[in-house]
Structure 1
Amino acid sequence: MLALYWRMDLVVPREFHWDLTWRCIYGFVTCATLFWTIKEMTLADAHVLAFTSPVLTFFLGAWLLGEAIASVDLGCALVSLVGVVCVCQPAFLFGSAAQAATNPYAPWGGIMSAVLIALTYVHLHKLAALHYVVVTHYFLLTSAAAAGLWVIVMEGGV
């Protein structure tokens, strides 16, 4: 509605097509994996995993965008990731009893969600020249279409 109200030009220049496409795909899959992780794990643990995305964005920004890394920042990021390991409690470190109350794949879903959130932020950084309403518009269209297909194909129809 904002695009219509502000009379936005929704034509995206060719140089932004791939970044916008990946942003939309990552955004939808992030929502799906995060909601699944919340369903399968305790709410607090699932959100701890999802909220590690700034740390992962830090690493991906350095790798994919060439941003500088200070040694203090690197140390803090590594300590944060050790905390995530303590929350996830992988079976190979903590034994299989730690996973008894939850789906064993749920921590992986949370980690995948955090990585995809970080990739989304990297692509949003590359899309900074586009108006935010245009990016949000295409994300909404992609997510609505993908959710509709999911309901029809995976959930057995409307």
Structure 2
Amino acid sequence: MNLHVSGDVAARTLAIVTAMKGTEGPLLPILHEIQAEFGFVPQDCLPVIARELNLSRAEVHGVVTFYHDFRDHPTGRHVLKLCRAEACQSMGADAVAARVKALLGIDFHQTTLDGAVTLEPVYCLGLCSCAPSAMLDGEVHGRLDAAAAAELVREARR
């Protein structure tokens, strides 16, 4: 994954769109692939996607901003997602979130100054029976408490 957009964003975007536009409902898979390629969905990609899929820029922008998984800026080397859904909140997610924020010195949607960790809220990881839960770089963790949260932060900082 390349976290910095270079001058060939349009060409790389066009290659992704061309390869995927024949699939059924191509916009979401294309956006996921763009994010995998760049680490986020650069604004420079939107006009290319819109033109190639015969959509307006507003339609593409609306999809990018509607779904919480799409980012419009680079992330840190690690992404820590904390579940904010009701089941997790009822099991102490607010205290876990407060602990993680304090340990990292950031709030949701921010990245640590050293670029190591981006903290994001997510609204259900599907681990309701193991609440509160989190995801670090795609790996889920359940039954978090203050100690487990501190261990996740240590792991993310490595």
Structure with greater Cα Rg: 1
| Structure (1 or 2) with the greater helix fraction | 1
| Structure (1 or 2) with the greater strand fraction | 2
Tell me the TM-score normalised to structure 2 length: 0.29
Tell me the TM-score normalised to structure 1 length: 0.29
Higher RCO structure, 1 or 2 (CA under 8 Å, sep 6+): 1
